Amino acid sequence: MDAPLLNKTTTKEFRSRWIEYIYGLQDTICAALGKLDGKAVFKTDDWERAAGKGGGGRTRVMDMGAVIEKAGVNTSVVFGQVTDAMRKQLQMDGDSWFACGLSLVIHPLNPYVPTVHANWRFFELYDGGGYIKDRWFGGGADLTPYYLFEEDARHFHGTLKKALDSFDPDLYPRYKKNCDDYFSNTHRDKETRGIGGIFYDHLRPGSEAHAEDLFRFQQLNGDTFLEAYLPIVQKRKDNPYGEKETFWQEIRRGRYVEFNLIHDRGTLFGLKTKGRIESILMSLPPRARWVYDHHPDPGSREDELLQVCLKPKEWV
Protein backbone atom coordinates (compact mmCIF):
# COMPACT_ATOMS: atom_id res chain seq x y z
CA MET A 1 0.00 0.00 0.00
CA ASP A 2 1.50 3.29 -1.12
CA ALA A 3 -1.14 5.58 0.40
CA PRO A 4 0.21 7.57 3.34
CA LEU A 5 -1.66 7.74 6.64
CA LEU A 6 -3.11 11.16 6.06
CA ASN A 7 -4.53 13.10 8.94
CA LYS A 8 -8.20 13.94 9.13
CA THR A 9 -7.84 17.60 8.20
CA THR A 10 -6.04 16.90 4.92
CA THR A 11 -8.46 14.20 3.87
CA LYS A 12 -11.49 16.30 4.79
CA GLU A 13 -10.31 19.15 2.59
CA PHE A 14 -9.64 16.79 -0.34
CA ARG A 15 -13.05 15.13 0.05
CA SER A 16 -14.80 18.50 0.15
CA ARG A 17 -13.24 19.59 -3.11
CA TRP A 18 -14.25 16.31 -4.74
CA ILE A 19 -17.84 16.60 -3.49
CA GLU A 20 -18.00 20.17 -4.76
CA TYR A 21 -16.71 19.08 -8.17
CA ILE A 22 -19.25 16.23 -8.41
CA TYR A 23 -22.23 18.43 -7.54
CA GLY A 24 -21.03 21.05 -10.01
CA LEU A 25 -20.64 18.46 -12.75
CA GLN A 26 -24.17 17.19 -12.05
CA ASP A 27 -25.51 20.72 -12.53
CA THR A 28 -23.54 21.25 -15.74
CA ILE A 29 -24.63 17.94 -17.30
CA CYS A 30 -28.27 18.35 -16.30
CA ALA A 31 -28.37 21.89 -17.66
CA ALA A 32 -26.94 20.75 -21.01
CA LEU A 33 -29.34 17.80 -21.28
CA GLY A 34 -32.33 19.95 -20.35
CA LYS A 35 -31.38 22.47 -23.02
CA LEU A 36 -30.85 19.70 -25.57
CA ASP A 37 -34.22 18.15 -24.89
CA GLY A 38 -36.22 21.36 -24.75
CA LYS A 39 -39.35 19.60 -23.48
CA ALA A 40 -38.74 17.50 -20.36
CA VAL A 41 -37.15 18.88 -17.21
CA PHE A 42 -35.11 17.18 -14.51
CA LYS A 43 -36.92 16.23 -11.32
CA THR A 44 -34.68 16.33 -8.23
CA ASP A 45 -34.94 13.90 -5.32
CA ASP A 46 -32.65 14.65 -2.41
CA TRP A 47 -32.46 11.59 -0.19
CA GLU A 48 -30.76 10.51 2.99
CA ARG A 49 -29.67 7.09 4.07
CA ALA A 50 -31.60 5.38 6.87
CA ALA A 51 -30.84 6.23 10.47
CA GLY A 52 -27.46 4.91 11.54
CA LYS A 53 -26.11 5.03 7.97
CA GLY A 54 -24.30 8.15 6.87
CA GLY A 55 -24.93 10.40 3.93
CA GLY A 56 -27.35 10.58 1.05
CA GLY A 57 -27.54 11.82 -2.46
CA ARG A 58 -29.23 13.84 -5.13
CA THR A 59 -31.06 11.82 -7.78
CA ARG A 60 -32.03 13.84 -10.85
CA VAL A 61 -34.29 12.13 -13.35
CA MET A 62 -35.90 13.26 -16.61
CA ASP A 63 -38.35 11.26 -18.68
CA MET A 64 -40.71 11.42 -21.65
CA GLY A 65 -38.72 14.17 -23.30
CA ALA A 66 -38.65 15.11 -26.96
CA VAL A 67 -35.17 13.59 -27.35
CA ILE A 68 -34.53 11.81 -24.05
CA GLU A 69 -36.90 9.03 -23.11
CA LYS A 70 -35.35 8.51 -19.68
CA ALA A 71 -32.22 9.86 -18.03
CA GLY A 72 -30.80 9.75 -14.53
CA VAL A 73 -27.86 11.86 -13.39
CA ASN A 74 -27.23 10.88 -9.79
CA THR A 75 -24.76 11.92 -7.14
CA SER A 76 -24.19 10.30 -3.78
CA VAL A 77 -22.02 11.14 -0.79
CA VAL A 78 -22.12 8.17 1.55
CA PHE A 79 -20.05 6.90 4.46
CA GLY A 80 -20.27 4.49 7.34
CA GLN A 81 -18.70 1.67 9.30
CA VAL A 82 -17.28 -1.29 7.38
CA THR A 83 -19.85 -4.07 7.89
CA ASP A 84 -19.23 -7.81 7.88
CA ALA A 85 -20.95 -8.00 4.50
CA MET A 86 -18.51 -5.44 3.06
CA ARG A 87 -15.55 -7.24 4.60
CA LYS A 88 -16.67 -10.50 3.05
CA GLN A 89 -17.96 -9.36 -0.33
CA LEU A 90 -15.49 -6.57 -1.01
CA GLN A 91 -12.50 -7.83 1.00
CA MET A 92 -12.42 -4.48 2.73
CA ASP A 93 -9.90 -4.33 5.49
CA GLY A 94 -10.73 -1.22 7.47
CA ASP A 95 -12.92 0.40 10.09
CA SER A 96 -14.95 3.00 8.18
CA TRP A 97 -15.35 4.28 4.63
CA PHE A 98 -16.41 7.20 2.48
CA ALA A 99 -17.61 7.24 -1.14
CA CYS A 100 -18.71 10.03 -3.43
CA GLY A 101 -19.50 9.84 -7.09
CA LEU A 102 -21.69 10.70 -10.02
CA SER A 103 -23.41 8.05 -12.11
CA LEU A 104 -25.47 8.77 -15.19
CA VAL A 105 -27.45 6.84 -17.78
CA ILE A 106 -29.22 8.46 -20.74
CA HIS A 107 -31.72 6.47 -22.80
CA PRO A 108 -32.82 8.55 -25.82
CA LEU A 109 -36.12 7.92 -27.60
CA ASN A 110 -34.85 7.66 -31.18
CA PRO A 111 -33.26 4.22 -31.85
CA TYR A 112 -30.58 5.93 -33.94
CA VAL A 113 -29.31 7.77 -30.86
CA PRO A 114 -27.16 5.64 -28.56
CA THR A 115 -27.70 5.12 -24.85
CA VAL A 116 -24.78 6.31 -22.76
CA HIS A 117 -23.52 5.57 -19.26
CA ALA A 118 -20.78 7.28 -17.28
CA ASN A 119 -19.52 7.26 -13.72
CA TRP A 120 -16.77 9.02 -11.74
CA ARG A 121 -16.17 8.06 -8.13
CA PHE A 122 -13.78 8.40 -5.20
CA PHE A 123 -13.50 5.98 -2.30
CA GLU A 124 -11.64 6.17 1.03
CA LEU A 125 -11.11 3.54 3.72
CA TYR A 126 -10.06 4.47 7.27
CA ASP A 127 -8.48 2.70 10.21
CA GLY A 128 -9.90 2.81 13.75
CA GLY A 129 -8.20 6.17 14.38
CA GLY A 130 -9.85 7.80 11.35
CA TYR A 131 -6.64 7.87 9.27
CA ILE A 132 -6.65 6.78 5.63
CA LYS A 133 -5.79 3.14 5.03
CA ASP A 134 -6.63 3.12 1.34
CA ARG A 135 -8.23 5.38 -1.28
CA TRP A 136 -8.83 5.32 -4.98
CA PHE A 137 -10.56 6.89 -7.96
CA GLY A 138 -12.56 4.97 -10.54
CA GLY A 139 -14.76 5.81 -13.48
CA GLY A 140 -15.41 5.69 -17.18
CA ALA A 141 -17.93 6.22 -19.93
CA ASP A 142 -19.39 3.78 -22.45
CA LEU A 143 -21.73 3.98 -25.42
CA THR A 144 -24.58 1.61 -26.30
CA PRO A 145 -25.81 2.29 -29.84
CA TYR A 146 -28.66 0.35 -31.45
CA TYR A 147 -27.35 1.09 -34.94
CA LEU A 148 -23.71 1.50 -35.76
CA PHE A 149 -22.33 4.72 -37.21
CA GLU A 150 -18.58 4.29 -37.37
CA GLU A 151 -17.99 8.04 -37.35
CA ASP A 152 -19.95 8.28 -34.06
CA ALA A 153 -17.93 5.45 -32.54
CA ARG A 154 -14.72 7.18 -33.61
CA HIS A 155 -15.90 10.52 -32.23
CA PHE A 156 -16.85 9.06 -28.83
CA HIS A 157 -13.70 6.99 -28.40
CA GLY A 158 -11.50 9.68 -29.92
CA THR A 159 -12.76 12.34 -27.51
CA LEU A 160 -12.18 10.11 -24.49
CA LYS A 161 -8.76 9.12 -25.81
CA LYS A 162 -7.69 12.73 -26.30
CA ALA A 163 -8.39 13.47 -22.62
CA LEU A 164 -6.49 10.38 -21.45
CA ASP A 165 -3.57 11.02 -23.83
CA SER A 166 -2.95 14.40 -22.22
CA PHE A 167 -1.98 12.46 -19.08
CA ASP A 168 -0.37 9.35 -20.54
CA PRO A 169 -0.75 7.79 -24.01
CA ASP A 170 -0.64 4.31 -22.48
CA LEU A 171 -3.94 4.80 -20.66
CA TYR A 172 -6.50 4.67 -23.47
CA PRO A 173 -5.61 1.19 -24.83
CA ARG A 174 -5.71 -0.24 -21.28
CA TYR A 175 -8.91 1.48 -20.19
CA LYS A 176 -10.61 0.72 -23.52
CA LYS A 177 -9.87 -2.99 -23.05
CA ASN A 178 -11.04 -2.86 -19.40
CA CYS A 179 -14.31 -1.44 -20.67
CA ASP A 180 -14.86 -4.15 -23.30
CA ASP A 181 -13.99 -6.82 -20.71
CA TYR A 182 -16.24 -5.37 -18.03
CA PHE A 183 -19.43 -4.53 -19.97
CA SER A 184 -19.75 -8.06 -21.26
CA ASN A 185 -22.75 -10.36 -21.09
CA THR A 186 -20.55 -13.35 -20.33
CA HIS A 187 -23.66 -15.56 -20.37
CA ARG A 188 -24.18 -14.65 -24.06
CA ASP A 189 -20.85 -15.58 -25.62
CA LYS A 190 -19.31 -12.44 -24.10
CA GLU A 191 -21.50 -10.17 -26.21
CA THR A 192 -20.68 -6.63 -25.05
CA ARG A 193 -23.43 -4.27 -23.89
CA GLY A 194 -22.46 -1.75 -26.53
CA ILE A 195 -19.35 -0.44 -28.26
CA GLY A 196 -17.54 0.42 -25.03
CA GLY A 197 -15.49 3.44 -24.15
CA ILE A 198 -13.16 3.57 -21.16
CA PHE A 199 -13.31 2.01 -17.70
CA TYR A 200 -10.78 2.28 -14.86
CA ASP A 201 -10.78 1.55 -11.15
CA HIS A 202 -8.50 1.49 -8.09
CA LEU A 203 -6.35 4.41 -9.22
CA ARG A 204 -4.48 4.79 -5.92
CA PRO A 205 -2.41 7.90 -5.21
CA GLY A 206 1.14 7.22 -4.04
CA SER A 207 1.63 10.72 -2.66
CA GLU A 208 -0.31 13.92 -2.11
CA ALA A 209 1.00 15.33 -5.38
CA HIS A 210 -0.18 12.17 -7.13
CA ALA A 211 -3.60 12.50 -5.46
CA GLU A 212 -3.90 15.99 -6.96
CA ASP A 213 -2.88 14.62 -10.36
CA LEU A 214 -5.56 11.95 -10.15
CA PHE A 215 -8.11 14.54 -9.06
CA ARG A 216 -7.33 16.59 -12.18
CA PHE A 217 -7.45 13.41 -14.26
CA GLN A 218 -10.97 12.67 -12.99
CA GLN A 219 -12.04 16.25 -13.59
CA LEU A 220 -10.80 16.20 -17.16
CA ASN A 221 -12.68 12.95 -17.83
CA GLY A 222 -15.87 14.27 -16.24
CA ASP A 223 -15.58 17.55 -18.13
CA THR A 224 -15.04 15.69 -21.41
CA PHE A 225 -18.27 13.71 -21.22
CA LEU A 226 -20.62 16.20 -22.89
CA GLU A 227 -18.14 16.80 -25.70
CA ALA A 228 -17.99 13.04 -26.33
CA TYR A 229 -21.75 12.43 -26.32
CA LEU A 230 -23.81 15.51 -27.24
CA PRO A 231 -22.64 15.92 -30.86
CA ILE A 232 -23.80 12.33 -31.54
CA VAL A 233 -27.25 13.08 -30.16
CA GLN A 234 -27.48 16.28 -32.20
CA LYS A 235 -26.52 14.45 -35.36
CA ARG A 236 -28.96 11.51 -35.03
CA LYS A 237 -31.93 12.76 -33.04
CA ASP A 238 -34.05 13.64 -36.07
CA ASN A 239 -33.38 10.45 -38.06
CA PRO A 240 -36.70 8.97 -39.19
CA TYR A 241 -37.48 5.54 -37.74
CA GLY A 242 -40.37 3.12 -37.41
CA GLU A 243 -41.54 0.00 -35.60
CA LYS A 244 -38.69 -2.12 -36.89
CA GLU A 245 -36.05 0.16 -35.34
CA THR A 246 -37.99 0.46 -32.07
CA PHE A 247 -38.32 -3.33 -31.87
CA TRP A 248 -34.56 -3.77 -32.26
CA GLN A 249 -33.91 -0.98 -29.74
CA GLU A 250 -36.06 -2.89 -27.22
CA ILE A 251 -34.26 -6.17 -27.89
CA ARG A 252 -30.90 -4.51 -27.23
CA ARG A 253 -32.31 -2.82 -24.15
CA GLY A 254 -33.21 -6.29 -22.89
CA ARG A 255 -29.50 -7.11 -23.06
CA TYR A 256 -28.81 -3.86 -21.18
CA VAL A 257 -31.15 -5.06 -18.40
CA GLU A 258 -29.44 -8.45 -18.35
CA PHE A 259 -26.01 -6.88 -17.91
CA ASN A 260 -27.10 -4.48 -15.20
CA LEU A 261 -29.04 -7.02 -13.12
CA ILE A 262 -26.77 -10.06 -13.60
CA HIS A 263 -23.26 -8.66 -13.87
CA ASP A 264 -22.91 -5.00 -12.89
CA ARG A 265 -20.95 -4.81 -9.66
CA GLY A 266 -22.33 -1.40 -8.71
CA THR A 267 -25.93 -2.53 -9.13
CA LEU A 268 -25.42 -5.79 -7.24
CA PHE A 269 -23.52 -4.06 -4.45
CA GLY A 270 -26.30 -1.49 -4.14
CA LEU A 271 -28.97 -4.20 -3.99
CA LYS A 272 -27.08 -6.31 -1.47
CA THR A 273 -26.28 -3.40 0.82
CA LYS A 274 -29.87 -2.16 0.64
CA GLY A 275 -29.09 1.08 -1.17
CA ARG A 276 -31.83 3.37 -2.48
CA ILE A 277 -33.59 1.11 -5.00
CA GLU A 278 -35.02 3.80 -7.26
CA SER A 279 -31.62 5.46 -7.63
CA ILE A 280 -29.86 2.15 -8.29
CA LEU A 281 -32.41 0.95 -10.83
CA MET A 282 -32.84 4.29 -12.62
CA SER A 283 -30.21 2.85 -14.99
CA LEU A 284 -32.75 0.39 -16.41
CA PRO A 285 -34.21 1.34 -19.79
CA PRO A 286 -37.77 2.65 -20.06
CA ARG A 287 -38.74 -0.25 -22.36
CA ALA A 288 -37.24 -3.67 -23.00
CA ARG A 289 -38.20 -6.77 -24.95
CA TRP A 290 -37.30 -10.45 -24.96
CA VAL A 291 -37.96 -12.67 -27.96
CA TYR A 292 -36.97 -16.32 -27.83
CA ASP A 293 -33.81 -17.08 -29.81
CA HIS A 294 -33.86 -13.77 -31.68
CA HIS A 295 -31.20 -13.22 -34.34
CA PRO A 296 -31.11 -10.29 -36.77
CA ASP A 297 -30.86 -11.12 -40.48
CA PRO A 298 -27.23 -11.66 -41.46
CA GLY A 299 -25.84 -8.58 -43.15
CA SER A 300 -28.63 -6.28 -41.87
CA ARG A 301 -28.00 -2.99 -40.06
CA GLU A 302 -29.08 -4.75 -36.85
CA ASP A 303 -26.62 -7.58 -37.42
CA GLU A 304 -23.84 -5.07 -38.11
CA LEU A 305 -24.26 -3.72 -34.56
CA LEU A 306 -24.45 -7.21 -33.06
CA GLN A 307 -21.22 -8.25 -34.77
CA VAL A 308 -19.20 -5.41 -33.21
CA CYS A 309 -20.63 -6.43 -29.82
CA LEU A 310 -19.53 -10.03 -30.37
CA LYS A 311 -16.09 -8.88 -31.50
CA PRO A 312 -15.06 -5.49 -30.11
CA LYS A 313 -13.21 -3.26 -32.55
CA GLU A 314 -10.52 -0.62 -32.24
CA TRP A 315 -12.17 2.68 -33.17
CA VAL A 316 -9.22 5.06 -32.93
| Residues with active-site annotation | 117
Rank residues 160 and 280 by Cβ distance to a second copy and give the closer one.
280
DSSP secondary structure string, 184-199?
Answer: EEGGGTTEESSSEEEE
| Site string (291-310) toward a second copy, x via CB under 8 A | xxx-----------------
Q: 147, 153, 123, 110: which is closest to 55 by C-alpha? A: 123
Q: 228, 291, 288, 220: which is closest to 254 by C-alpha? A: 288
Q: 181, 187, 225: which is closest to 200 by C-alpha? A: 181
Strand 68-81, strand 54-63: pairing: antiparallel
Residues with Cβ < 8 Å from 122, sequence gap 6 or more?
A: 15, 18, 99, 100, 101, 135, 136, 137, 218
Rank residues 272 and 311 by Cβ distance to a second copy and give the closer one.
272
38 near a second copy, judged by CB under 8 A: no
In the Cβ-directed half-sphere of 14, how many Cα atoms lie within 13 Å? 25
| Site string (170-209) toward a second copy, x via CB under 8 A | -----------------xx---------------------
Rank residues 9 and 91 by Cβ distance to a second copy and give the closer one.
91
- Segment 212-271, which members bind a second copy (CB under 8 A)? 250, 254, 257-258, 261-262, 271
40 near a second copy, judged by CB under 8 A: no
In whole angstroms, the minimum distance from the beta carbon of 254 to a second copy comes to 7
- Segment 57-86, which members bind a second copy (CB under 8 A)? 61, 63, 70, 72
In angstroms, rounded to a whole number, what is the distance separating the alpha carbons of residues 27 and 262?
Answer: 31
Residues at the site binding a second copy, with contacts judged by CB under 8 A: 43, 45, 61, 63, 70, 72, 187-188, 250, 254, 257-258, 261-262, 271, 274, 277-278, 281-282, 284-293
